[in-house]
């Protein structure tokens, strides 16, 4: 059994003797050439992308702060006037009664 096993292993290990090389597909060069002549997609460097995202995030945040601040000031403006009994700045233009 041992000898037969070793014999079989030898047979497998030597099975590539006399092997010929395979031929590559006939149309392979054409496919390579097509791939090479295709315009390369623009690659944005990762660093540049990160900076762009960071700047966009900062601008967005600033805009949000500005809008919130405007909205809060607008409400406070009307409320404070009324609180102090102030009248609207413009009524019927009758300044003197």
Partner 1 sequence: MNKPRVLLKAIAEGDQVAFRALYDLYSKQVYNTALSYAQRPEDAREITQDVFTNVFRKADTFRSEAKVSTWIYRITINTSLNFLKRKNRFSLFSMSEQHHDQPDFDHPGVLLENKEAARTLFRTINNLADQQKTAFILSYVDDLPRQEVADIMGVSLKAVESLLQRAKKNLRTKLASEYPNRIK
Nearer of residues 33 and 72 to partner 1, judged by Cβ? 33
Report, in Å, the least distance between residue 54 CB and partner 1. 31
CA 74 to chain centre: 37
**93 vs 89: CA distance, rounded Å:** 10
Nearer of residues 24 and 77 to partner 1, judged by Cβ? 24
Q: Report DSSP state, residue 38.
A: S
Report, in Å, the least distance between residue 60 CB and partner 1. 35
Nearer of residues 5 and 94 to partner 1, judged by Cβ? 5
Residues engaged in binding partner 1 (CB under 8 A): 5-6, 8-9, 11-25, 28-29, 31-33, 35-36
Biggest distance spanned by C-alpha atoms of the chain: 128
Q: Report DSSP state, residue 97.
A: -
Report, in Å, the least distance between residue 21 CB and partner 1. 5
For tokens 């059994």, the residue is 1
């Amino acid at each position: 059994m041992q000898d037969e096993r070793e014999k079989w292993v030898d047979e497998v290990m030597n099975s590539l003797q006399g092997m010929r090389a395979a031929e590559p597909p006939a149309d392979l060069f054409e496919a390579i050439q097509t791939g090479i002549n295709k315009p390369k997609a623009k690659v944005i460097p990762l660093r540049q992308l990160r900076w762009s995202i960071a700047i966009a995030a900062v601008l967005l945040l600033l805009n949000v702060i500005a809008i919130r601040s405007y909205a809060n000031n607008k409400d406070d403006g009307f409320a404070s006037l009324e609180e102090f009994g102030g009248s609207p700045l413009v009524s019927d233009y009758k300044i003197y009664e």
